[in-house]
Amino acid sequence: MLMHLIFGPTCCGKTDFSIKLAQRLGWPVISLDRVQCCTQIATGSGRPSPAEIGCTERIYLADRPLVEGIIEADAAHAALKCVLESSESKLGMILEGGSISLLNAIMRDSYWSEKFTWCIHRLPLCDSATFLHRAKRRIRQMLSPEEGVPFLQELAMYVGHSAELGVLEGVVGYRFAITFARERHLSLVDLKKIEPELKEALIDGIAQEYLDHAKWQERDFPNIPATWKVQELDPDIVIKMDITNLYSGQNHS
């Protein structure tokens, strides 16, 4: 089976790339994002909307209540194998995501070198100015999405729920928003109605946290194992996208 692996740091366009590739090939996309397994934080985790997914198929490795926490990498890895073993797609699959711990689990396991041939799409981290511009656009869309629950509403729903808030304090974006409110003696509900100047400060801070996280990801992504059978990208199958086109798309991971 042929596997397309799309990976790179947050806000580099992985999700948009995977959807376009799925449209071209007709294959399912499996999200390797562990945070996206929590449906209650779909907006803040960067899940694409049904309209964006369109006629393509996107598979998540779990449907997990936030109170249970983010799925561990080993559990996500086991779930990924189960999805592949039960899949009706015989030609290939598209794996997309940026979870370093899950990618490490995959690349340590000989299962992946024995059973599959790979096409690798490593999306790079852009310069800081371009990244921050893109991240801020994404955050504004999260605050007022066309579909789904706004980011700050997702956060406000867990006021008084210490277990869920504890989980969110470990998630990029939510962590900064919680700290931002605490430092200004605001409730999380108050964040939904802050004045424009303060809202811009919130957006700037979340964007910077995304950038810091992206730099960490860029530094620590694992190398593709030498034992993997990697084939050259076929220009008749693989979408040709230069980096400027990639960064002009939607604002997903």
Residue 240 and residue 21 in contact, taking contact as beta carbons nearer than 8 Å = no
Structure confidence by residue, pLDDT tens digits, 171-218? 999 999 999 999 999 999 999 999 999 999 999 999 999 999 999 999
Check whether 106 has a pLDDT greater than 80.
yes
Question: CA separation (Å) from 84 to 65, 90, 99, 112?
Answer: 23, 10, 18, 11
Residue 246, pLDDT above cutoff 50: no
Number of H helices, E strands in the chain: 11, 6
Q: What pLDDT sits at residue 43? A: 97
Residues in the chain: 253
Q: Does residue 237 register a pLDDT over 70?
A: no
User: Is there a contact between 17 and 94 (Cβ–Cβ < 8 Å)?
Assistant: no
Q: What is the pTM of this model?
A: 0.91
pLDDT tens for each residue of 209-231? 999 999 999 999 999 999 999 99
Please say whether the dihedral angle defined by the alpha carbons of residues 241, 132, 19 and 216, taken in this order, is positive or negative.
Answer: positive
- Tell me the C-alpha distance between 136 and 124, whole Å: 18
d(CA 166, CA 155) in angstroms, rounded, equals 11
| Residue among 192, 15, 23 at smallest CA distance from 121 | 15
Predicted confidence (pLDDT) at residue 252 exceeds the cutoff of 90: no
Tokens 């699959």 belong to 93
Q: Is the pLDDT reported for residue 253 higher than 80? A: no
What structural domains and CATH numbers belong to the chain? 2-126+221-248 (3.40.50.300), 128-214 (1.10.287.890)
